[in-house]
Amino acid sequence: MKAILNKLIEHQWLSREESRRVLIEVASGTFNTSQIAAFLTVYMMRSVTIEELEGFRDALLELCHAVDLAEYQAIDLCGTGGDGKNTFNISTLASFVVAGAGIPVAKHGNYGVSSACGSSNVLEFLGIRFSADSDFLRKSLDQAGICILHAPLFHPAMKEVAPIRRELGVKTFFNMLGPMVNPAFPKYQMVGVFNLELARMYGYLYQNTDKTYSILHGLDGYDEITLTGPAKVLGNKVESVLNPEDFGLTKITAQEIEGGDSIEKAAQIFIDVLQGKGTPSQEAVVCVNAGIAIATATGCTPLEGYEKACISLQNGSAQKSFKKLQAISA
């Protein structure tokens, strides 16, 4: 690690192979916490390169405990986090809306690091069990239309650095990696990113895969569509800017989609939205993001996807999916 740190301190970049190798060594427990913290800190002060990101991704996928769910042709809805906006759990709620609309979801997630409450925090609080057992995951998909892939169960490297990330309390390149290393290798991917540079990098990397994808970035700094302003959407063959008016909606304020400062508050918002007791702004934001996921998986337009998402939420299908997953977890 000393040679790697010296190279980085001298403002040099790592090759794809160097990046892959160093992360494999991190996962093996070769380095101490101070060395790992120093390594992570470098990437808080400069952008990760495409080659470095590819190498880090290669390492995580090489080491991950993969699960074969190919026959479900599932979609993952996942954000990088790290936007510092403290919204409620939009993509997690949208995942159940998509499942309620009949599209299988393999949701990859983790505990929050740079936010008050990540997807795993709120799901665990609400009684959802995390498991790497393929039979349990298949049962979840068969009965609830969704399974939860809790990252530390599948990625040794993430488990190794988790305490350090929590202590640092700010976004690291692991935020960038999360959506790229779903251990089920889903056919479809909707990912939200915290800046345009990362959106471009994701687009470049996904172009070299067989995934059907949509990459979202709120141009006012969000890693999802929030209806607080325009959002950039990059797909396999399309690039567009979506505005609230494109869905027949009006612009909302940041305060209307805040997530609170505790797991309890986040969980209450989560349940309220699923039960149809959320605010109009909360429900609209969830359905717009779910709508983009539905469009990604089915080829319909974003507006048609939004309309299908609204039906899933309003007729109780999304809540039914969540309750089935709760029952399976009991």
- Which pLDDT band, with edges at 50, 70 and 90, does 260 fall under? confident
Q: What is the 3-state secondary structure (H, E, C) of 165-232?
A: HHHHCCCCHHHHHHHHCCCCCCCEEEEECCCHHHHHHHHHHHHCCCCEEEEEEECCCCCCCCCCCCEE
Looking at residue 115, its pLDDT comes to 63
For the chain, what are the domain ranges?
2-63, 73-329
- Give the model confidence (pLDDT) of 292-318 as tens digits: 999 999 999 999 999 999 999 999 999
Tell me which fold the domain 2-63 belongs to.
1.20.970
Instruction: Give the pair of three-digit tokens for residue 236.
Output: 């396999």
pLDDT (mean) for 64-69: 96
Q: Do domains 2-63 and 73-329 have the same CATH topology?
A: no
142: region left, alpha or beta (phi > 0 left; psi from -120 to 50 alpha) = alpha
Looking at residue 164, its pLDDT comes to 86
Lowest mean pLDDT among 43-47, 104-108, 214-218, 223-227: 43-47
- Mean pLDDT for all residues in the chain: 93
Lowest mean pLDDT among 41-50, 284-293, 296-305: 41-50
Any alpha helices (H) in the chain, and if so which ranges?
2-9, 16-27, 33-45, 50-63, 90-100, 119-125, 134-144, 151-154, 156-168, 173-177, 196-207, 263-274, 280-298, 302-314, 317-329
Closest CA to 318 of 123, 93, 88: 93
pLDDT (mean) for 4-18: 95
Closest CA to 185 of 74, 95, 81: 74
pLDDT (mean) for 1-28: 94
How large is the C-alpha radius of gyration of the chain?
19
- Which pLDDT band, with edges at 50, 70 and 90, does 178 fall under? confident
Looking at residue 278, its pLDDT comes to 97
Looking at residue 65, its pLDDT comes to 94
Check residues 198 and 82 and name the one with the higher pLDDT: 198
Check residues 203 and 159 and name the one with the higher pLDDT: 203
Q: Which amino acid is at 223?
A: D
- Give the model confidence (pLDDT) of 197-225 as tens digits: 999 999 999 998 899 999 999 999 999 99
Q: For residues 103 and 187, what is the distance between their CA atoms, to the nearest angstrom? A: 12
Q: For residues 228 and 212, what is the distance between their CA atoms, to the nearest angstrom? A: 27
What percent of the chain lies above the pLDDT cut of 70?
A: 98
- Kindly list the distances between the CA atom of residue 68 and the CA atoms of 16, 78, 178, 190, 328, in Å, as whole numbers in the listed order: 27, 19, 18, 19, 20
- Which pLDDT band, with edges at 50, 70 and 90, does 237 fall under? confident
- Which pLDDT band, with edges at 50, 70 and 90, does 114 fall under? low
- Cβ-contact 226, 261 below 8 angstroms: no
73-329 sits in which CATH class? alpha beta
